[in-house]
Structures are given as C-alpha cells and as structure tokens.
Copies of this chain bind each other. A is one copy, B any other.
Amino acid sequence: MKEDELRMEEPEAERAPRSVGFLISQLGFFSSKRFMDALEPLGIGPRDFSLMRFVDASDGQSQHALAERLGIPPSRMVALVDGLEEMELLERRPDPDDRRVRGLFLTRKGRSVLEKAGKIAIDYETQLCAGINREEREQLIDLLQRLQVTQTDLGGVHPGMSE
C-alpha cells in the first residue's frame, strides 16, 4: 500500500493507532502504574501483593517453589522476601524436614495488609471499569483471555516497575 493514500488532513501517525497491540501495551503500562500508586500507602508493590497472595493460598511453601510458580529467578525472590520480612508481613520458618528450605508464612500483620490490598485491588478494578457496565466487563475479560499471547505466560508476574 502506498504511503500517502489516506493522508487527508489528519497526520495519521499522530493519533494513537487503532490497534489492539498498541492499546494493550499502553493501557497495561499505565494500569500497572496506577495500581502501584494505589498500593503505595501500604508500602508494598504489585509483586509483593502477588507473592503474598500465593503464600496466603498455601502456607509454608519453599521460596524455590514460589519462585518457580511466579516465574522469577531465585535471586530475585530473596530480595522480595527480604523486603516483606523486614516489614514483618512475611516470615521464613525453618522446615523441620529439610534444613535447606525455609517455608514462607504470612504474619498476622501480613494477612491484614493483604486484606487491605485486596480491597484496594477491587476498588481499582471498579474505577478502571467505571466506563463500562457489568456485561461489557465480562465481554472484555473474555476477549482479553482469547488474545494470542505466548501460551505459557499467565500465572507469572511480569518484572518492571517495582515498589
């Protein structure tokens, strides 16, 4: 196709392209950022939130197991857990059966913070979807889930934009 085809008066490249890929990338970034900001009063980041949810789902898992499930390298997990432990939201307990592993457990404070974070997440979701109704939201989620991104992605937590 030629280049000057539909070049009427509108710059054609000025406006955001009407593309799923572009919109997803853009919205994804700013959405992450906004959620991060919303979480900031709690002193935790999105990744902390994810990790805590996983720990809450099943106490006592090893760091290794969690790291694998979250798709982050073990070295990264150390820093993550360090932070959470320093804030007393999480604690490492020695495993009675294997002295190499440290099981992760939420503290009481950790559960409390996680609960607040959950509320924040819901509020955020509500606000994000303020422009569409419930049915449209279901539709949107359905469509998003049918997008062809690498098969093995979901479940992990993407890097970038910490704290």
Contact = CB atoms under 8 A, between A and B. Distances in A.
Shortest 8 CB-CB distances between A and B: which pairs? A28-B28, A29-B158, A13-B57, A131-B146, A11-B57, A13-B53, A140-B143, A25-B32
Interface residues of A, number: 60
Q: How many copies does the complex hold?
A: 2
Nearest to A136: B143
Interface in A111-132: 115, 121, 124-125, 127-132
Interface of A: 3, 11-21, 23-32, 34-35, 46, 53-54, 56-58, 115, 121, 124-125, 127-132, 136-137, 139-141, 143-150, 153-156, 158, 160-161
A21 to B, nearest CB: 5
Q: Name which of A14, A35, A148 has the most chain B CB atoms within 10 A of its CB.
A: A148
